[in-house]
Structure 1
Amino acid sequence: MSGRGRDEVTGLALYDQTAQDAAAAVIAAYSTSFGLASRMLGPRVRPHVRNVYALARVADEIVDGPASAAGLDTEAERRVLDDLEAETLAAIERGFSANLVVHAFARTARECGIGEDLVRPFFRSMRTDLTTAQHDSASHDEYVYGSAEVIGLMCLQAFVNAGRPAPRDPGPDLVEGARRLGAAFQDVNFLRDADHDGGALGRDYLGSATREQVLARIDADLAAAAAVIPRLPPDCRRAVTAAHDLFAALAVRLRRQPAATTRVRVPDPVKAALAARAWLGFSPWSARA
């Protein structure tokens, strides 16, 4: 089959663009907050970060309900997840996938230096959701590393390496900041979604940790991340600051609402104000400052 694409783009370039658009569509459908922050990224890195999050979202949906609603049992969900991991690793190696979201991710991985060392822990954490309902401190930390910290590290690879002729090491301070920010995001979401995770999915990610202990950990992780955000490339700082500040605001609201009666949200006008603040170049915000 042949034909001319939009704006006369054809062949692999058209396929790459279509895959990138597919990843953007996934993000637009699933996350308005992420969509807001990603629009603040410079064009050099924006599609790569969307590609990372789109793959993560597809994998998450396999274990968080849609696959089950389609009639898959736990073993079938595991096989689908295993197949997605295998296809992702193969696509990074060969540079092509018939799965558009995987193709977009593989393109980012090859350009930005995202390898098996980050991909496998992510899928390992996704598989944990099929087998582990009650976490302790150790399994929480392992799960958070694979489900959130490595996503931060993948994004960091894009921040540092998108558009470069060859990937380079971001450096230990940025690596630590990316991990801490990812961990804070995940712990905030654990607190926000505790009722749903426990009631609908039968999972307890926080184990014996008290709400105050988790909030203190979030504050420390956000502070550690804020310290290194100014060292990111200029076309990434505003978006990361906006995301950081949104989760700092969520943490404030979680502290004000000790009982998880409703899912805590940041009102749209406050989101807009935080985004504007970040866009103007202010340092990451902290309610503890």
Structure 2
Amino acid sequence: MSASYTGLELYDRTAADAAAAVISRYSTSFGLATRLLGPRPRPHVRNVYALVRVADEIVDGPASDAGLSPEQEREVLDALEAETLRAIERGFSSNLVVHAFARTARECGIGAALVTPFFASMRTDIDTSSHDAGSHDAYVFGSAEVVGLMCLQVFVNAGRPSPRPAPDDLVEGARRLGAAFQDVNFLRDLDDDAGRLGRDYLGGADDDARRVTVLDRIDADLAAAAAVVPRLPRDCRRAVTTAHDLFAELSHRLRRTPARAGRVRVPDAVKVALAARAVVTSRPRSIR
């Protein structure tokens, strides 16, 4: 690479490679879906994922394992947010992951209105152990819905000379898909969240009635998101369909599995079959 690129272009490409390494290490399902994006949006979605993952790791164990106190975790998270906002403004960061995200943010129209709520939710994880309905909704908006909106900004704007707002129906679909993803993960991680992290995001979702209520909400959100997938740019539909269908499969399996029975997973063969179906149809499957 160094023989072909120099200066800022080499730095930009190195930052993009760093972001791609994060997703390859941390995610199989999201990584699979991202590989089905077209070359226009794919590197930008990787850049978004990398920043989100690094921030999440600050509050979900690695920083604590390194010996940081909650106060120090907050300092690190605050510094990451401040550097991200500065990098979006100036177009450069010495942090490769932040630099990659900032390039995407500047091209695709991702600003403080999406970045700030995300970091606010991450900060909540440091000092809030139990959520009620209101705090759950606020947390999900910042931790998941705005990430969906960041990806939507990429879908709509990557490669354009100047970013534009996404249509309202796509905004609603992106928010609801993000919320469904987050609630599915809350149900999958009940034991780990409670035992390792001491957190309860769903207010007693190990109770059968509460669990069904959450699953019904997830399926409604997945159905609403599926309805607008055909309105997405063509080079994004297969990836979003794959991600939607993976989480629809998880929701289906969660309904058949008792609470706290271990983390529900989709076997690799099923993941591949869902991705293959998405390549052929580009339309999410109906919710069972």
Please report the TM-score for the alignment, with normalisation by the length of structure 1.
0.97
1:185-240 Cα offsets, whole Å, 9 max, x none, are 00000000000000000000001561000000000000000000000000000000
Structure 2 residue aligned with 1:216: 216
Report if the CA contact (8 A) 1:55-1:102 is conserved.
yes
In 1, distance between residues paired with 2:213 and 2:269? 30
Structure 2 residue aligned with 1:47: 43
Please report the TM-score for the alignment, with normalisation by the length of structure 2.
0.97
1:164 and 2:150 are equivalent in the alignment: no
Structure 2 residue aligned with 1:87: 83
Report if the CA contact (8 A) 2:128-2:199 is conserved.
yes
1:13 and 2:9 are equivalent in the alignment: yes
Structure 1 residue aligned with 2:131: 135
In 2, distance between residues paired with 1:117 and 1:126? 15
Which residue of 143, 146, 149 maps to 2:145?
149
Shift in Å, 1:7? 4.3
Shift in Å, 1:262? 1.3
In 2, distance between residues paired with 1:185 and 1:143? 13
Moved more, 209-218 or 128-137: 209-218
Change (3 A) 1:107 1:126: same
Structure 2 residue aligned with 1:181: 177
In 2, distance between residues paired with 1:207 and 1:185? 18
Moved >3 Å (runs of 4+): none
1:57-103 Cα offsets, whole Å, 9 max, x none, are 00000000000000100000000000000000000000000000000
Shift in Å, 1:258? 2.2
Report if the CA contact (8 A) 1:24-1:51 is conserved.
yes
Structure 2 residue aligned with 1:76: 72
Structure 1 residue aligned with 2:251: 251
Partner amino acid, structure 1, of 2:269: P
Structure 2 residue aligned with 1:60: 56
In 2, distance between residues paired with 1:157 and 1:111? 9
Q: Please tell me the root mean square deviation across aligned C-alpha atoms, in Å.
A: 0.8
Which residue of 18, 23, 26 maps to 1:22?
18
1:268 and 2:264 are equivalent in the alignment: no
DSSP 3-state at the match of 1:6: coil
Shift in Å, 1:283? 1.9
Percent identity between the aligned chains? 76
In 2, distance between residues paired with 1:14 and 1:283? 38
Shift in Å, 1:34? 1.0
Structure 2 residue aligned with 1:107: 103
Partner amino acid, structure 2, of 1:196: D
1:234 and 2:237 are equivalent in the alignment: no
Moved more, 259-268 or 19-28: 259-268
Moved more, 34-43 or 278-287: 278-287
Which residue of 112, 119, 128 maps to 1:116?
112
DSSP 3-state at the match of 2:191: helix
In 1, distance between residues paired with 2:133 and 2:116? 21
Report if the CA contact (8 A) 1:136-1:208 is conserved.
no
DSSP 3-state at the match of 2:281: coil
Q: How many residues align?
A: 284
Shift in Å, 1:285? 1.0
Q: Tell me, which stretches of 5 or more residues in structure 1 are unaligned?
A: none
Q: Tell me, which stretches of 5 or more residues in structure 2 are unaligned?
A: none
Structure 2 residue aligned with 1:206: 202
In 2, distance between residues paired with 1:176 and 1:235? 20
In 2, distance between residues paired with 1:7 and 1:276? 37
Structure 2 residue aligned with 1:281: 281
DSSP 3-state at the match of 2:56: helix
1:192 and 2:194 are equivalent in the alignment: no
Shift in Å, 1:6? 2.9
In 2, distance between residues paired with 1:170 and 1:144? 20
Report if the CA contact (8 A) 2:223-2:287 is conserved.
no
Report if the CA contact (8 A) 2:77-2:123 is conserved.
yes
1:145-201 Cα offsets, whole Å, 9 max, x none, are 000000000000000000000101111100000000000000000000000000000
